[in-house]
Amino acid sequence: MTKKIRLIRTMVTEYVPNPECYDKGMTIEEMAQSDAEQDDLETIFSEIEKDEVKWEIINGDSTCFVKDVSEAEAVEVINIVPIILEEQEVVVAWARKKKEDWNVASIIEALVSEKTSKTLKKDEEYMRAREVYRGKNNSWRDSVLLAIQMNIYRMENDIKQGQLVTNGCAIGFAGEFNFSERSFHLFATKDESIKIGKYLMDDFQSVK
């Protein structure tokens, strides 16, 4: 079954009641349902456009949308590891560090916002992460945002399942990956019948 996840950005229009209109003694619902002329409605409500970010989860023929990708676990759709570029790893590293005192939504907002966060202007790691994030196209931007939310990722040049790999000392076939730890098991045989040990992905490269 095909399982996919992607970021959707849309412009959303919201209508917010103007405070001065409460003097009329009307509730928000009454104002919305009133038979007032259009000109009057424009004085009652202010139109606000904002950028809305949501995740599209595709599971076979069914599709759903969630505001936070962690909610997707409830619909049992997560079976994907985001792929990022090697230079984007600094973005994920900054986000992981920032998670100690910020929630994920605030971290993502600091990266995607058109304006630099006032509270982080002196944070060199943030400025570097933001520069790298904004220097890529939307596809790579979405991948790194997904990596931040899911707290797992793999890089485009990572070793892969079944490859013959080495760290200069040990050699074998890669399998049983743990992308949250960025670790894997090394096997003496391609069918993974003889396990050598557990290693870090970043210490190995494929044998050409």
Same domain? For 34 and 60 the reply is: yes
Same-domain status, 69 and 89: no
User: Is 90 buried (19+), middle (13-18) or exposed (0-12) by CB count in 10 A?
Assistant: middle
Q: Residue 203: what pLDDT?
A: 96
103 and 46 part of one domain:
no
Q: Which two tokens stand for residue 206?
A: 């494929």
pLDDT at 129: 94
Whether residue 103 is found in the same domain as residue 150: yes
pLDDT at 38: 42
The per-residue pLDDT string of the chain (208 residues; one tens digit each, 9 = 90 and over) reads 444 555 554 444 444 555 554 445 555 455 555 544 444 444 444 544 554 555 555 555 554 555 555 544 443 434 467 889 999 999 999 999 999 888 888 888 889 888 888 888 888 999 999 999 999 988 888 889 888 888 888 888 899 989 999 999 999 999 998 888 899 999 999 999 999 999 999 999 999 8
Q: Tell me, yes or no, whether 92 and 62 share the same domain.
A: no
Question: Among 52, 75, 98, which residue terminates a domain?
Answer: 75
Residue with tokens 């595709």: 58
- Please tell me whether residues 87 and 148 are part of one structural domain: yes
Domain count, the chain: 3
Specify whether 10 is located in the same domain as 68: yes
pLDDT of residue 67: 55
Give the pLDDT confidence score for residue 197 in this predicted structure. Answer: 95
Q: How many CB atoms lie within 10 A of CB 150?
A: 20
Quick one: pLDDT at residue 68?
A: 55
Quick one: 84 exposed, middle or buried, by C-beta within 10 A (0-12, 13-18, 19+)? buried
Q: Residue 51: how many CA atoms within 13 Å on its side-chain side?
A: 9
Domain housing 201: 164-206
Residues 62 and 124 in one domain: no
Residues 151 and 178 in one domain: no
How many C-beta neighbours within 10 Å does residue 5 have? 21
pLDDT at 204: 96
Same domain, 168 and 146: no
| pTM score, whole prediction | 0.58
Work out the end-to-end distance of the chain between its first and last CA atoms, rounded to an integer number of angstroms.
33
